[in-house]
Amino acid sequence: MKYLYETHLHTSQSSACGETPGHEYISRYKALGYTGIIITDHFYRGNTVADRSLPWEKWVDRFCRGFEDAREAGARQGLDVFFGWEETFEGDDYLVYGLDRQWLLKHPEAASWTRAEQYQWVSHFGGCVVQAHPFRQHYYIDCIHLSPEWVHAVEAANAGNNEQSYDALAKRYAEKLGLPVTAGSDIHRLADVKEGTAFGVYLDKKMETIADYVEAVKTGTIAGLRISEGRCDYRGNERVKLPVRIRDKRGRPIRQDLESFLA
């Protein structure tokens, strides 16, 4: 038996672009056969609802509202709900799993981490970092930033990407680096939670806490991806129209063109 999980989901309470409150997602995900969902609202530098002028504790409370709402409804209806977040740098986004509200309350510095610090500290405290949709080329992105040393895994399939080639490139990139891959819906509204656009990961073991997901990511033991047919198939003619910046572990740009990297 395999257990299905959503890994990338936004609520209207905590993501400014989210259209559906946490509790409304529960019955639909249950109906599609999911065992659980991980709420990943936009974090401090992302499209968050929580007002940044609030004192940190209040900000954290506000940020967790969508998750709390989903978790309460999940507990009533029988769907496991876990906590994570999605942080943004220069159009490049990272899903962070394994740290919770209590941890956040004690660590306001999380709001100003660099990419390298994010990786170091999340690792230190037992979590993991997954780069979300690394090859997305939507209007709001002017450069693709890749930091292969600062992630534990790559989100190969993201249902919010409007071109299949972005996912094919992400999967290829992860394979070249030997990094584990994940899949998620990047859901912002209930209407998109349906066959074909609801992605996720399969695990062999039921998650008890978010630490179980972190372990599956870090050990490369995710049992499979739920994605649409051919979503990550790499053909070799995928195009990257944006400039690409690849950094090494010290943050220095690597002078290598992407095509030769992926070839």
> Interface with Zn ion by CB under 5 A: which residues?
17, 86, 186
Sequence letter at residue 36:
G
Q: Which of 176, 153, 177 is nearest to 8 (CA)?
A: 153
- Cβ of residue 96: shortest distance to Zn ion, in angstroms? 12
- Cβ of residue 113: shortest distance to Zn ion, in angstroms? 18
Q: Which is nearer to Zn ion, 146 or 159 (CB)?
A: 159
Q: Which is nearer to Zn ion, 68 or 92 (CB)?
A: 92
* DSSP element (H, E) containing 4: strand 3-6
As a whole number of angstroms, the distance between CA 167 and CA 190 comes to 22
Q: In a 10 Å sphere around its CB, with 0-12 CB exposed, 13-18 middle and 19+ buried, how is residue 243 labelled?
A: exposed
- Cβ of residue 92: shortest distance to Zn ion, in angstroms? 12
For the chain, the straight-line distance linking the first and the last C-alpha, in angstroms and rounded, comes to 36
Q: Which is nearer to Zn ion, 26 or 132 (CB)?
A: 132
- Cβ of residue 40: shortest distance to Zn ion, in angstroms? 6
- Cβ of residue 95: shortest distance to Zn ion, in angstroms? 8
Q: Which is nearer to Zn ion, 151 or 223 (CB)?
A: 151
Q: Which is nearer to Zn ion, 133 or 171 (CB)?
A: 133
Contact 240, 228 (CB under 8 A): no
Task: Give the nearest residue (CB) to Zn ion.
Answer: 17
**Tokens of residue 166, six digits:** 């972005």
